[in-house]
Amino acid sequence: MNTLTKVGAAVAVVIVSWAAGTVVLGQRVQAKLETQGPLGEALDSTGLLKVVNSEYRKSFFGATRTMSVEWGCSTEGKPAPRLTVQQDIQHGPFPGFRSVGAARVTTRLVLDSDARAKLKEVIGTEELPFEMVTIAGFGGGTHTDLRSDGFTAKDANSNTQISLKPLNLQLKSSSHGDTTLRYDVQGYELQDGRGTSMVLAGLKGSAQGQAPHWYAMGTQADGVIERFELKAPQGGAQPLLLMSNLKMGSQGAVKDGLYSAQSTMTGQLEVAGTKFQELVMKASLKNLNAEAYARLVKNAMQPRLSCDNPSEPAALAMQRQLADMQSDLMALLPSNPEFSLDELSVTLEGKKALLSYAVGAQGVTAEELKAGFQPGLMQKVKLNAMVETSTGFLQELAKVFKQPPQMMDAMVAQGVDRGFIRQEGQSLKATIELAKGQALLNGKPVPLPGLTPPPAEPAPVEEETAEGE
């Protein structure tokens, strides 16, 4: 066999292999997509989105999937709002000859002529200014890019205007559901037409989470916000609120079936032209039963709708959902869960004000939960809260709000007299504790309506009668 024949045979093998691979991958992609909704979610008639019709047209190189999706459900005889979603699919192993993978899927919302006309009136174009492309990997993972060059939307009646700057979101999910999000959002500006405006600029970062609900069970995240600004007519050109150079981070993990996470945020704060030296926030989530937490998140994200039973009042459907969520919340209690705001503090002219609290449950058993929610469970709720500052900080705060210092002094004195505040020199502190059904304010018992039992009445004293009467 000469060289030319060998080359021809090799090319033929490659072409046949590629063609066979394209056919096989096309079948796999179709089987996978037909079990999913427009956003990759499992088909579920109890959720907010419901696929009522799906058409799949396949060719050798690709396919087109068109879905009719109901948003909510019908009410008072009126049909539920419907959206048409189209997915243009290019089969692998070299989908569209632009990437490598099982498929390349472009998802878009198909608008009718009326919707396109209204969209052009609002943003100046008949097409939604977003592009969503997903690359499906050979092993079942996906990589989704959501991009926009930005747009400005205007409401002629109210003069409200929102300008969205360019954005880029990248979502990468493994075959078992663990996900990484990377985001670069240049920001937005909202104006209400009456002088109030809100600006967010420079939002960048990444987040990682684990299945089944990566957005609620984060394992690592970091990000920055360059500026958040709020202006109002009474403030003139000066922002009422300005937060800048915000840095955020978090860590989370599941250990022995329990999920815990810690997060932090630091940055600069300015209120009505007054600059605070530092803004700090630290928070923690401890000992959440991971399985029960996943069920709670699922119920919260998929509202119960009475689409299959239109005669059922919406309030009853909501009641069913709340009952499910209460059951999931109860299942969290035996693991001694706790949420805490470990520190929320600001520093002004070198003087600090700090708030912290922690709320959780301690000692609840599975046996106690079998009887459902009982008032006795409140005896096992624990709460600790603290506010700490100084007279110097309050005096600086009085200057910010242009109040006389004597007013702050009078408020502090009144709080101390009533036992709401403890004062030691310039230090001011207040603590609240709740444990075993007993509430303490600054270390002293205080009654809680409905929780703290009323004080026992003294037993009646029997009068002695004189002998012989």
Q: Residues 121-144: pLDDT tens digits?
A: 888 888 888 899 888 888 888 888
Provide the residue count of the chain. Answer: 469
What's the pLDDT band for 429 if we cut at 50, 70, 90?
Answer: very high
Q: What is the mean pLDDT of residues 74-93?
A: 77
Give the Cα separation of 437 and 380 in Å (integer).
Answer: 7
Q: What percent of the chain has pLDDT over 90?
A: 29
- Which DSSP category does 8 fall into? H
Instruction: Name which of 120-124, 299-303, 399-403, 427-431 the model is least confident about.
Output: 299-303
* pLDDT computed for residue 97 by the predictor: 67
The answer on pLDDT for 1 being more than 70 is: no
What are the E-state strand segments in 62-150?
62-71, 82-91, 103-110, 131-136, 142-148
pLDDT range class, residue 4, cuts 50, 70, 90: very low
Calculate mean pLDDT across residues 183-199. Answer: 91
CA distance 105 to 20: 20
Q: How far is CA 271 from the centre of its chain?
A: 26
Question: Rounded CA gap, 300 and 326, in Å?
Answer: 11
Claim: this prediction has a pTM higher than 0.85: no
Residue type, 95: P
Supply 33's token pair.
């997509």
CB atoms within 10 A of CB 70: 20
Query: Cα torsion for 285, 289, 294, 295, to the nearest 10°?
Result: -130
Question: Dihedral of CA 368/373/378/380: which sign?
Answer: positive
Extract the tokens encoding 311: 């005669």
pLDDT digits (tens, 9 = 90+) for 217-272: 889 999 999 999 999 887 777 888 999 999 999 999 999 999 999 999 999 999 88
Name the 3-class secondary structure at 30: helix
- What is the gyration radius of the CA atoms in the chain, in angstroms? 31
Position 293: which residue type? Y
Local confidence band at 432 (pLDDT 50, 70, 90 cut-offs): very high
For residue 27, give the 3-state DSSP assignment. Answer: helix
pLDDT at 57 over 90: no
Phi/psi at 266 (5° precision): -135, 155
Residue pLDDT, tens place only, 377-408: 778 889 999 999 999 998 888 888 788 888 88
CB 387 within 8 A of CB 355: yes
Report the pLDDT averaged over residues 283-306.
Answer: 80
Average pLDDT over all residues of the chain: 80
Q: What is the per-residue pLDDT for 36? A: 55
Q: What is the pLDDT confidence band of residue 74, given thresholds at 50, 70 and 90?
A: low
Query: Is 22 in a helix, a strand, or coil?
Result: helix
Are residues 221 and 250 in contact, defined by beta-carbon separation less than 8 angstroms? yes
Residue range 349-354: average pLDDT?
A: 92
Q: Which has more pLDDT, 41 or 212? A: 212
> Dmax over Cα atoms in the chain, in whole Å?
141
Distance CA 125, CA 107 (A): 18
CA of 310: how far to CAs of 44, 300, 341, 405, in Å? 17, 21, 43, 62
